[in-house]
């Protein structure tokens, strides 16, 4: 194990000065086991990926069967591949409004890139609007609409003609005008600290985009597939976007992203020029087979409804822990946030929880906000155990 850790630090690019360093032996359901056999309760679900739990048996069977049939055979859109078609058809049946055409990608950031390109090509406009605190990925286009300048500035110049508005401030929406190709928004900001907008905000944004002819892109990468208590978070407010971006839980643990829109919007990628947007591995058949299996589990077991019920109960239990260290608790379904008093207290809290067997961390854009996003299958006794450890960690502060 010492050699494996040494090679990890030497040969894998490190993106933080102090990685957790947990040597993963296996993961199942809501748990991860390290090489020494110690069990950890995963309250991040691989950053919102494992909504149906790690290595769900039905997902594993679908992966195995598809791998035995065929792997990669051609670029997207040239050959009829059953896993792609079936998953796209299922998404079209479930998506709000007339979002019926799916473009599969490898990740959420790639899906954001495709959505932005589609909006610019369709409208002939260049201006993009995003929101302070937003996170949409780390490729150049996705980073250009990211709402934290700390992460944008080292890589500038990025895309030109991008404006940022304050999130959840309806009067600011007047700044969206007919020069805007698209507005991109998370229905609940994840890395921004699990910020949930007031009820009027997203419907007002939808109306404003319609008024000026701008496309509304809703980023459901973290919030999609039951995380907030509805299949898609935009459904809480009855908002139908022009393009919806999906990833993370979409693949059931395999890499998969997508952007989804009406046929009238998506067909712009097929002409002037044809092949206006292509991908080699997007919609890989094994990932699509896994995604379809995970989606059927999610629907059959009514995990979105369960997330709403269990999340509300857990929210109440966590709110009872509020005090000098824990300043606020908020959440939607099983996307919860604990806001602590200081960054230092947050780091100590996270370290204490990890030492007691909980995998959690603070959000990218708020070093005082701990995000909880466990598998939607998390059991009541696991929630009780997590709450007890969280309470102990707060009392130790």
Residues labelled catalytic: 135, 219, 248
Q: What are phi and psi of 294, to 5 degrees?
A: -65, -40
In angstroms, the Cα distances linking 9 to 20, 27, 138, 193 are 11, 22, 22, 29
| Residue 262 Rama label (left phi>0; alpha psi -120 to 50; beta) | beta
Q: Which residues contact 356 (CB under 8 A, 6 or more apart)?
A: 389, 392, 393
Nearest to 372 by CA among 4, 142, 42, 25: 42
Q: Which residues in 102-122 are b (16+ Cβ under 10 Å) and which e?
A: bbbbbbbbbbbbbbbbbbbbb
């Amino acid at each position: 194990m010492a050699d494996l850790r040494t090679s990890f630090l030497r040969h894998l690019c490190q993106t933080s000065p102090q990685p957790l360093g947990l040597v993963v032996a296996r993961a199942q359901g809501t748990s991860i086991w390290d090489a020494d056999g110690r069990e950890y309760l995963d309250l991040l679900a691989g950053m919102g990926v494992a909504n149906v739990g790690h290595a769900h048996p039905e997902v594993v069977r679908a992966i195995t069967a598809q791998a035995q049939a065929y792997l990669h055979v051609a670029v997207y859109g040239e050959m009829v591949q059953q896993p792609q078609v079936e998953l796209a058809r299922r998404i079209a049946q479930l998506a709000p409004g007339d979002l019926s055409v799916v473009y599969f990608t490898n990740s959420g950031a790639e899906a954001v890139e495709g959505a932005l390109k589609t909006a610019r090509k369709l409208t002939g406009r260049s201006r993009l609007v995003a929101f302070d605190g937003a996170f949409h990925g780390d490729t150049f286009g996705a980073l250009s609409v990211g709402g934290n300048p700390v992460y944008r500035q080292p890589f500038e110049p990025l895309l030109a003609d991008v404006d940022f508005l304050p999130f959840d401030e309806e009067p600011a929406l007047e700044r969206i005008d007919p020069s805007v190709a698209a507005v991109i928004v998370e229905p609940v900001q994840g890395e921004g600290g699990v910020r949930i907008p007031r009820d009027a905000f997203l419907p007002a944004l939808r109306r404003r985009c319609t008024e000026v002819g701008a496309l509304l892109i809703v980023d459901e990468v973290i919030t999609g597939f039951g995380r907030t208590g509805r299949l898609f978070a935009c459904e809480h407010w009855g908002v139908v976007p022009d393009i919806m971006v999906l990833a993370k839980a979409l693949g059931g643990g395999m890499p998969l992203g997508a952007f989804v829109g009406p046929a009238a919007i998506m067909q712009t990628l097929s002409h002037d020029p044809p092949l206006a947007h292509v991908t080699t591995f997007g919609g890989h058949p094994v990932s699509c087979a896994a995604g379809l299996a995970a989606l059927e589990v999610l629907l059959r077991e009514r995990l979105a409804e369960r997330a709403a019920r269990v999340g509300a109960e857990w929210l109440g239990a966590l709110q009872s822990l509020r005090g000098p260290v824990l300043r606020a608790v908020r959440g939607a379904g099983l996307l919860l946030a604990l806001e602590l008093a200081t960054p230092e207290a947050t780091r100590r809290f996270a370290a204490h929880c990890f030492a007691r067997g909980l995998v959690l961390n603070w959000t990218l854009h708020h070093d005082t906000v701990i995000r909880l996003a466990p598998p939607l299958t998390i059991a009541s006794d696991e929630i009780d155990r997590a709450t007890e450890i969280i309470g102990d960690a707060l009392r130790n502060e």
